[in-house]
Structure 1
Amino acid sequence: MIKYYRALTVFLLSVAVTTAMAQSTATTSSPYSRYGLGTIDPILLPQNVAMGGIGVATNQINGYNNVNPLNPASYSSMRLTVLDIGMYGNFSSFSKAGQANQTNSNFRLSHIAVGVPVSQHSALSFGLLPYSEVGYKYTQTLSRGYGTGSPTDTNVVNNVYSGEGGLSKAYLGYGFDIGRHLAVGANVSYIFGNLKQFSSTEFPNLYGAFNSRQETNNAIGGLNYDFGAQYTIDFTTERRLTLGYSGSAGTKLNSQSSFIVSQYQVDFTNDNEAVAADTIVNKQNPYTKIQLPLINRFGLAYQYDRHFLIGADYSMGNWSKLTIGGANQGLQNTQSVNIGGQITPNANSLHSYWAVMDYRLGVHFDKTYVAINNQDIKQEGLTFGLGLPLKASGTSFYKINIAGEFGQRGTLSNSLVKEKYFNVHLSFTLNDKWFQKYKFD
């Protein structure tokens, strides 16, 4: 009976997180999320985020079972059922030459991931992860060509550009061993969500004037596939080197866009916007296709069980091939380098909690798919975190994983925006013998 209660718990948590993520708006405020499909989220849980984002060649981390959707071959190493559920927060500041800095913050539930052993050498995993986020707003103030140009000039017009929304990724995967050293696996995923873009024309000093807004909404949904392999070289029973590869296929997603033009009024003294007075255009376009790029990832990790792990990843995405409705989006190919690891001073200590904690550190360097005015938009970050084990209960093992990331994106040159951010990730991870039959003599 207990196993059915546990299965029900997993199901209810999955529904809760799915509902929360599907209903939430974007949790980013980056101006660079305007391009392509928005800011692409890494397929990582906090324990890997804290190590610089490595994950292509990791599976069990110092003897603890983890879900690692970045490489489905890693599922084969799970010996216990794993439940991982987490939250995410973002704090950002934006600077531009000659303008005052702006700040923003966002929070959300981030993921739920479950891993279930099928045999001694295979396991399946399913869950829900973020795929991309769109969230930005900026205003361009212009004069209509006559007037004084003062702040109270009735001829001033504001062009307001904004966007919101995001895509989520529900996946089901399976990984298994082939012999002692090789593991392979694959995920089938459904990527879905809405991306909205707004362009508004407002007259802040012209009382009674109707403002106009153009809204484009893309409803997106379709299948995607991930695949991977890991090869392990054992030096001793506790020391090993793992080589990994994973990829995401260049599949096509369905997209249906709608185009709405409306008129509205705003009380600019308190920024209260009235309900749209009139809808001039409301057009539903036919279905089109979004061509996703092929993404390749390579990694290696050296591990001394229950002592330390260190690794590095390199990935590249062919985002210059991204098309929406047959139109190339003018993006560039991406490249990323991730380096990091963790150390556990004494996993068997009975007297010092500090000794059994996991200490994680890493860095990452990314060339994003955005280039503006012939300027590549790059990103780099320093990551760190802790793995906090909780008291075991029978066959159940618990850990709280905390990850932080200080990073920056963009540049002040060429009149661009420099973004500095701090991301915090928090997750609760459970290892237990769920769904397994017990034998009695």
Structure 2
Amino acid sequence: MKSLLLNMYKKINYIAAVLLLLTSISVNAQVTTQSPYSRFGLGNVKGALLPQFKAMGGISTGVYKPSGFSNINMQNPATYSGITLTTLDMGLSGAVTTLKDGSKSESSFNGTLSHVAVAFPIVAGKSAISFGLLPFTELGYEYTVNDRLDTNNVNYNYSGEGNLTKAYFGYGQQFGDHFRIGGNIEYIFGNLLESATLDPLNQVAFNSRNIKKNSVGGVGFSYGAQYEIPLGTKKRITLGYSGSSSSSINSQKTFLTTLFKVDSQGEGTPDTVKIDQNSSAKLKLPLMHNFGISIQRDNKWMIGADYRMGKWSKLSLDGLNQGLQDSWGFSGGGQFTPDAGATTGYFKHVDYRMGFQYDKTYIRLNDQDVKQMAVTFGLGLPLALSRNSIYKLNFTTEVGKRGSITNGLIQENYINFHLGFTLNDTWFRRYKFD
């Protein structure tokens, strides 16, 4: 018994160390994306999806348990109730992005640790808790606009970096045989830093730079429900809904204006001409709705679809609307496992996943909606099994584009890679001794 407790404490300390590490990385992270569209709103919204769900086009709202393996689906916290084993999921992401404007293109690569999530069953198959860290938004862009000011040629240089991270704690409960609900308490935090520099292209004139920083920290809420319709002993339809509240969270704003000269030695010492530091503001988040459906045969196949919409037109900072439009999108996808119960043949146990997604984003430029679409695919690779543990490696690729080169816009082509390691283990088991 003593060795059992010692082993349990070691595992808890391990999780705490990982959470602390990822918190530090999230707080100190710089540019993890290169996207001119991230300058709108709060940056590129990452979504609360682990790689195994991204591989199926992002379907998750109506997904309960595609197999007997426990997965953490924080997009719909009602699914926590199906957790039967202690579950740990952590991973990393990378992206190759190519920007095109019709005459030239530019490519970049960025990678980062992506998430860590843990779930514990309270009553196996009936209720469970989950907590973890995952990205919420990412800001990263840098571009120059040539223009004229009075009679002088000038460059306007714009850049932004930073991210918002979401720490969550959630609970899911099943009532009866077919209905379940759940909710997450979420703490959203991080820094968004943007600057605009006026370069007059004249060695006599001074350059000027405006720097804007938002330090965000506040509590939000998300929730979900599912209802299951049995189609026999092994088949079922699952209907799901999830959403997030229109929360107001705190933000500290800092605004700084400086003047400086540029010569052959580089930028000179800046002279601060205006500073407005740590003024309090409220960030109003949008109300989100997700609807999903799936049909499956247990441990064999599953297909599903999601529809989502967000009231991004209501996003505001310090009472000022951010000029966005409401968004909507849909996803479809599924998973197939040849023979989960096979005693021979490794690839019979592999989960094969595919999907697609389409979104009308919250951005509208030059009287044109910016749309995003992608195809997705991935694998769930089982690793060596032990007596009380199951391991799986989830690999996902997303190939897509956002925007177009028409009407003076930029087309963003991307290939995203996601790698997640999932562990199911029997912690906290109570042993009986004769």
Question: What's the offset of the Cα at 1:437?
Answer: 2.1
- Contact 1:262/1:276 (<8 A) preserved: no
Amino acid at match of 1:244: G
Give the equivalent residue in structure 2 for 1:103: 107
For this pair of structures, how many residues does the alignment match? 428
Give the equivalent residue in structure 1 for 2:380: 387
Cα deviation code 1:211-243 (max 9, x no counterpart): 221100011111110111111112223211111
Give the equivalent residue in structure 1 for 2:274: 281
- Contact 1:21/1:110 (<8 A) preserved: no
Distance 2:262 2:268 in 1: 9
Cα deviation code 1:97-127 (max 9, x no counterpart): 3x31111111100000101111131000000
Aligned-partner SS, 1:20: helix
Give ranges in structure 1 of 5+ residues lacking alignment.
147-154
Give the alignment of 1:13-162 within 5 angstroms.
Answer: 13-97=18-102, 99-120=103-124, 121-144=126-149, 146=151, 156-162=153-159
- Contact 2:338/2:349 (<8 A) preserved: yes
Give the equivalent residue in structure 2 for 1:346: 339
Distance 2:123 2:278 in 1: 48
Question: Relative to 1, partners in 2 of residues 1:336 and 1:267: Cα closer, same or farther, differing over 3 Å?
Answer: farther
Cα deviation code 1:61-93 (max 9, x no counterpart): 211100000000000000001000010111111
Cα deviation code 1:139-195 (max 9, x no counterpart): 01234555xxxxxxxx54211011111111000000011111111100000111111
Distance 1:106 1:266 in 2: 30
Distance 2:229 2:105 in 1: 51
Question: What's the offset of the Cα at 1:324?
Answer: 1.1
Question: What's the offset of the Cα at 1:265?
Answer: 4.9
Give the equivalent residue in structure 2 for 1:166: 163
Aligned-partner SS, 1:253: strand
Give ranges in structure 2 of 5+ residues lacking alignment.
1-5
Amino acid at match of 2:67: N
Partner of residue 311 from structure 1, selected from 299, 304, 308: 304
Give the equivalent residue in structure 2 for 1:188: 185
TM-score w.r.t. the length of structure 2 is 0.95
Distance 2:433 2:377 in 1: 45
Partner of residue 367 from structure 1, selected from 360, 367, 370: 360
Give the equivalent residue in structure 1 for 2:241: 245
257-266 vs 385-394, which deviates more?
257-266
120-129 vs 194-203, which deviates more?
194-203
Considering only aligned residues, what root-mean-square deviation do their CA atoms show, in Å? 1.7
Distance 1:328 1:280 in 2: 27
TM-score w.r.t. the length of structure 1 is 0.93
1:430 aligns to 2:423 (yes or no): yes
Amino acid at match of 1:9: Y
Question: Relative to 1, partners in 2 of residues 1:236 and 1:289: Cα closer, same or farther, differing over 3 Å?
Answer: same
Amino acid at match of 1:216: K
Give the equivalent residue in structure 2 for 1:231: 227
Question: What's the offset of the Cα at 1:351?
Answer: 2.8
Question: What's the offset of the Cα at 1:209?
Answer: 5.9
Question: What's the offset of the Cα at 1:304?
Answer: 1.1
Partner of residue 218 from structure 1, selected from 207, 214, 218: 214
Question: Relative to 1, partners in 2 of residues 1:438 and 1:60: Cα closer, same or farther, differing over 3 Å?
Answer: farther
- Contact 1:82/1:116 (<8 A) preserved: yes
Aligned-partner SS, 1:51: coil
How much identity, in percent, do the aligned residues show?
Answer: 45
Aligned-partner SS, 1:76: helix
- Contact 1:86/1:425 (<8 A) preserved: yes
Give the equivalent residue in structure 1 for 2:284: 291
Give the equivalent residue in structure 2 for 1:411: 404
376-385 vs 194-203, which deviates more?
194-203
Question: What's the offset of the Cα at 1:277?
Answer: 3.0
Aligned-partner SS, 2:372: strand
Partner of residue 254 from structure 2, selected from 255, 258, 270: 258
Question: What's the offset of the Cα at 1:20?
Answer: 1.1
Give the equivalent residue in structure 1 for 2:293: 300
Aligned-partner SS, 1:391: coil
Question: What's the offset of the Cα at 1:352?
Answer: 1.7
Aligned-partner SS, 2:166: strand
